[in-house]
Structure 1
Amino acid sequence: MKPYQPKLGIKLWAEADRPREKLLLNGRRHLTDAELIAILIGSGNRNESAVDLSKRILAEYGNDLDALGKVSVKSLSNFKGIGEAKAIAIVAALELGRRRKDTGATEVVHIASSKDAFEIMMPVFADLNHEEFWILILNTANRVIGKQIISKGGLAGTVADPKIIFKTALEHNAAFIILAHNHPSGNLKPSSQDLQLTKKLVEGGKMLDLQVLDHLILADKGYYSFGDQGLI
Structure 2
Amino acid sequence: MIKAEDKITIKSWAPEDRPREKMLLYGRRHLSDAELLAILIGTGNRNENAVSLSQRILSACGNDLDRLCQLSVKDLTAFSGVGRVKALHVIAALEIGRRRTGIIPAGPQKIDSSHDAYRHLHPIFTDLDHEEFWILLLNQANYVKSKHMISKGGRAGTVADPKIIFKTAIDNQGTFIILAHNHPSGNLRPSKEDLFITRKLADAGKLLDLLVLDHLILVNGNYYSLADEGCF
* TM-score bracket, shorter-length normalisation: over 0.9
User: CA contact under 8 A between 1:134 and 1:150: conserved in structure 2?
Assistant: yes
Equivalents in 1 of 2:105, 2:183: separation in Å?
21
Instruction: Note closer, same or farther for the CA distance 1:210–1:183 as it changes in structure 2 (3 Å cut).
Output: same
Partner residue, 1:95: 95
Task: Check if 1:69 corresponds to 2:31.
Answer: no
Q: How many residues align?
A: 231
String of CA shifts for 1:180-209, please: whole Å, max 9, x gaps: 000011111211211121112112211221
2:32 counterpart letter in structure 1: T
> Considering only aligned residues, what root-mean-square deviation do their CA atoms show, in Å?
1.9
User: Is the 2:137–2:145 Cα contact (8 Å) retained in structure 1?
Assistant: yes
Partners of 2:77 and 2:18 lie apart in 1 by 24
Q: Percent identity?
A: 61
Q: Say which is worse superposed, 189-198 or 50-59, in terms of deviation.
A: 189-198
Deviation at 1:101, TM superposition (A): 1.0
Distance 1:105 1:229, change over 3 A: farther
Change (3 A) 1:65 1:176: same
- Residues 31-70 of structure 1: CA deviation (Å, up to 9, x unaligned): 1111111111110001111011001100111111011111
The equivalent residue for 2:130 is 130
- Maintained 8 Å contact 1:105/1:119: no
Q: 1:225 aligns to what?
A: 225
In 2, the alpha carbon distance for the partners of 1:17 and 1:3 equals 22
CA contact (8 A) 1:70 1:128 kept: yes
Any conservation in 2 of the 1:9–1:43 contact (CA below 8 Å)? no
TM-score by length of 1: 0.93
Counterpart contact for 2:2–2:47, Cα < 8 Å: no
Q: TM-score, normalised by structure 2?
A: 0.93
Counterpart for residue 210 of structure 2: 210
Of 162-171 and 37-46, deviating more is 162-171
Matches within 5 A, 1:140-179: 140-179=140-179
TM-aligned CA distance change 1:3 to 1:13, over 3 Å = closer
SS at match of 2:25: helix
For 2:103, give the aligned amino acid. T
- Unpaired segments ≥5 residues, structure 1: none
Unaligned runs of 5+ in 2: none
The farther-off stretch of 166-175 and 64-73 is 166-175
- 1:2-41 alignment, distance < 5 Å: 6-41=6-41
Q: Alpha carbons of 1:211 and 1:69: their partners in 2 closer, same or farther (altered >3 Å)?
A: same
SS in 1 for 2:6: coil
